Amino acid sequence: MYKKENKSIYFIGMVIAMLLWGISWTSGKAAVEHSNIQVSSFWRYFISFIGMIPVMFYMKRSLKTDLIGSIYMILAGLLSAAFSYLFFAGLAHGDAGYGGTIVTSLVPLITYFLSMIIFSTKVSTKQIIALGIGIFGAIILLKIPMEGLSFLNLNSIYFLKCAIVWSFVTIITQKISHRVDPIFYTLVLFGVTAFTNMIFALPYHPFEITLYDSIFWWNILFNGLLAGTFAMAIFFVSASKIGAHNTGVFMFIVPIGAIVSSYFVYGERIAESTIIGCLLSLFAIILFNKKSKLKKSVEDK
């Protein structure tokens, strides 16, 4: 008799990956405070790139893709380079906990809208309602009812741009998922990102290791190896087992890691509006991805 696979280990793996991504916001802030945006952006992805090479060969992943896949991977890498700059720029000016929350909450919502526009994705009435709730959550997150357009300041604008850029990366990832192995795609993404960031970091002498202290190196190693290579490998393995439609919910563990770590390291206090906005966005993601009983029963047959 067929024994159903125990997926508990994959759920635990997904939680670990999300917590590492959350802590990376606080760790990234420490890194950029002890270097600069350009150097932090380069080393974070260069370390991830080097770390991903043995992972890919150990897992015996395919290196094959086609011309279109190659073009999209390069484009995704360039967008990822822009994201990394905005990530560290945001952390240089704003709070890590707030950044981790707002980006995690906004990316799925923006991605849904882009999918509807680019792919002409059809949405049900339930999904439209979910998006409406998500938009309301985003408005609360950006503190628009309380502070108007003040979210356009340096404390928030970089994080908003982060969410927009990463949504485009997500769209590209979805579009070429059938053309390239996800681990190989990630390797190329890290490589293109690191090379692009290196060009902008060269004026700041990134290879003169003694220019940067141990706080920078420990935190950039954490971001590159643990939050980068290790967390990405766990994410892909776990996501393939628990289903892609479930990963959106797990993403909301990221703010927990960001908020808790930033509280203990920097004493950052999270606003009530951030918590409410995050919860509304989480509810919107669950509602958007929730399948009807009829559809689920058909797929299970």
Q: What is the DSSP string of 141-185?
A: HTTHHHHGGGGGSTTTHHHHHHHHHHHHHHHHHHHTTTTS-HHHH
Kindly report, residue by residue over 251-298, the tens digit of the pLDDT.
778 888 888 899 899 888 877 877 888 888 878 777 776 664 434 443
Q: Residue 192 in contact with residue 73, Cβ under 8 Å? A: yes
Mean pLDDT of 61-72: 89
Place of tokens 């720029």: 89
> Which of 150, 179, 158 is closest to 98 using CA atoms?
158
- Secondary structure tally for the chain: helices H, strands E: 14, 0
Task: Enumerate residues 6+ apart whose C-beta is below 8 A from 287.
Answer: 126, 127, 129, 130, 133
Mean pLDDT of 27-31: 96
Token duo for residue 154: 């340096």
Q: What pLDDT does 301 receive?
A: 43
Torsion of CA 29, 32, 38, 44, to 10 degrees: -70
Task: Enumerate residues 6+ apart whose C-beta is below 8 A from 19.
Answer: 253, 254, 256, 257
Mean pLDDT of 108-126: 78
Q: Residue 18 in contact with residue 250, Cβ under 8 Å? A: yes
Kindly report, residue by residue over 193-216, the tens digit of the pLDDT.
999 999 999 999 999 999 999 999
DSSP class of residue 4 equals P
Q: Residue 43 in contact with residue 202, Cβ under 8 Å? A: no
Token duo for residue 28: 């990234």
HSE-up of residue 106 (Cα within 13 Å, Cβ side): 25
Q: What pLDDT does 299 receive?
A: 43
Q: How far is 105 from 264, CA to CA, in rounded Å?
A: 22
Does the pLDDT at position 57 exceed 60? Answer: yes
> Which of 153, 179, 134, 137 is closest to 95 using CA atoms?
153
Q: How far is 269 from 106, CA to CA, in rounded Å?
A: 20
Task: Enumerate residues 6+ apart whose C-beta is below 8 A from 40.
Answer: 28, 31, 32, 88, 216, 220
Q: How far is 27 from 125, CA to CA, in rounded Å?
A: 41
Q: What pLDDT does 243 receive?
A: 63
* pTM score, whole prediction: 0.85
